[in-house]
């Protein structure tokens, strides 16, 4: 496209000639996936140093739960499967619910959303890129917790590959909820509180065996998306896993992830225009 000279107006402003049929287009609209990849790389590089100590805390917390429950749960039992699966997914919940809620809460309070609003990227790219970057940090801690839990409780390692499906699907559901909490909370302190409450719910409802809970608590457990990631992981420890149920649990995580990330994108648009 050739350059067009501007005419000087009486007020000193520059007038850009309009294209036929309307105003001149400044540039092509940014596409979702390249924009998301750019946000993902930027977030990954910025959060690498700051978040590693916090992720160490998340892994240490889950490993501590495994060691504590080793004294009260029999090895190889159904309860052991729940403890190992719940402790592993707890690392994802710590990052997706807790850290991401805090991040977006602080970003909104500090005016950081104004920076993203000036970039030519779709709102969904900002939410998905940040959620993906934070979820990437959970992979080492989740895998370490799962391997150590299997060794401590005498569970097979043959189907441990399922963790690679549980992390992104459960992570998407929890990251969407965490981002929505941070963007909708009126104050960053409230966003932190919501993230902490969500992580505590994942701890209490995901790690403890479901058959030992009261009926009302089981109902609350069914409403928590991380529960389905825990169930999908725990089902693979059996001699003959029912893969249909595993796929169903993962599908629930994926569905909740789509909805929660859509809500977070809407909350981002809502917060960015204020």
* This prediction's pTM: 0.83
In the structure, what pLDDT confidence band is assigned to residue 47 with cuts at 50, 70 and 90?
low
Would you call 222 exposed, middle or buried from its count of C-beta atoms within 10 A (0-12, 13-18, 19+)?
A: middle
pLDDT at residue 251 above 90? Answer: yes
User: Beta partners for 14?
Assistant: 8
Q: Using one digit for the tens of pLDDT, what is the confidence trace for 108-154?
A: 888 878 777 777 788 888 888 888 888 888 888 999 999 999 999 99
Q: Is the dihedral of CA 111, 112, 114, 117 positive or negative?
A: negative
The pLDDT value recorded for residue 50 is: 61
The pLDDT value recorded for residue 24 is: 42
Q: Which region, left, alpha or beta, applies to residue 154 given φ > 0 means left and ψ of -120 to 50 means alpha? A: left
CA-to-CA separations, 87 to 90, 101, 173, 226, 268, in angstroms, rounded: 5, 20, 17, 11, 31
3-state secondary structure the chain: CCCCCCEECCCCCEECCCECCECCCCCCCCCHHHHHHHHHHHHHHHHHHHHHHHHHHHHHHHHHHHHHHHCCCCCCCHHHHHHHHHHHHHHHHHHHHHHHHHHHHHHHHHCHHHHHHHCCCCHHHHHHHHHHHHHHCHHHHHHHHHHHHHHHHCCCCCCHHHHHHHHHHHHHHHHHHHHHHHHHCCCHHHHHHHHHHHHHHHHHHHHCCHHHCCHHHHHHHHHCHHHHHHHHHHHCCCCCCCHHHHHHHHHHHHHHHHHHHHHHHHHHHHHHCC
Mean pLDDT of 59-77: 89
More confident residue, 124 or 1: 124
The pLDDT value recorded for residue 138 is: 86
């Amino acid at each position: 496209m050739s350059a067009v000279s501007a005419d000087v107006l009486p007020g000193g402003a520059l007038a850009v000639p309009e294209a036929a049929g309307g105003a001149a287009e400044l540039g092509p609209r940014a596409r979702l996936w390249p924009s998301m990849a750019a946000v993902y790389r930027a977030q990954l590089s910025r959060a690498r140093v700051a978040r590693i100590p916090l992720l160490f805390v998340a892994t240490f917390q889950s490993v501590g739960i495994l060691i504590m429950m080793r004294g009260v749960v029999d090895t190889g039992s159904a309860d052991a499967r729940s403890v190992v699966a719940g402790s592993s997914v707890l690392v994802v919940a710590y990052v997706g619910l807790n850290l991401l809620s805090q991040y977006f809460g602080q970003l909104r309070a500090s005016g950081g959303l104004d920076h993203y609003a000036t970039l030519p990227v779709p709102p969904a790219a900002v939410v998905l890129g940040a959620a993906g970057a934070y979820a990437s940090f959970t992979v080492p801690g989740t895998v370490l917790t799962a391997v150590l839990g299997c060794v401590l409780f005498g569970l097979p390692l043959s189907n441990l590959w399922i963790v690679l499906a549980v992390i992104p699907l459960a992570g998407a559901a929890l990251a969407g909820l965490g981002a929505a909490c941070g963007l909708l909370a009126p104050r960053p302190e409230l966003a932190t509180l919501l993230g902490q409450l969500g992580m505590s719910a994942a701890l209490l409802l995901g790690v403890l065996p479901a058959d030992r809970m009261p009926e009302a608590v089981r109902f609350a457990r069914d409403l928590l998306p991380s529960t389905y990631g825990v169930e999908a992981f725990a089902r693979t420890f059996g001699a003959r896993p029912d893969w249909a149920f595993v796929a169903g649990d993962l599908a629930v995580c994926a569905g909740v992830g789509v909805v929660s990330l859509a809500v977070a994108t809407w909350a981002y648009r809502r917060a960015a225009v204020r």
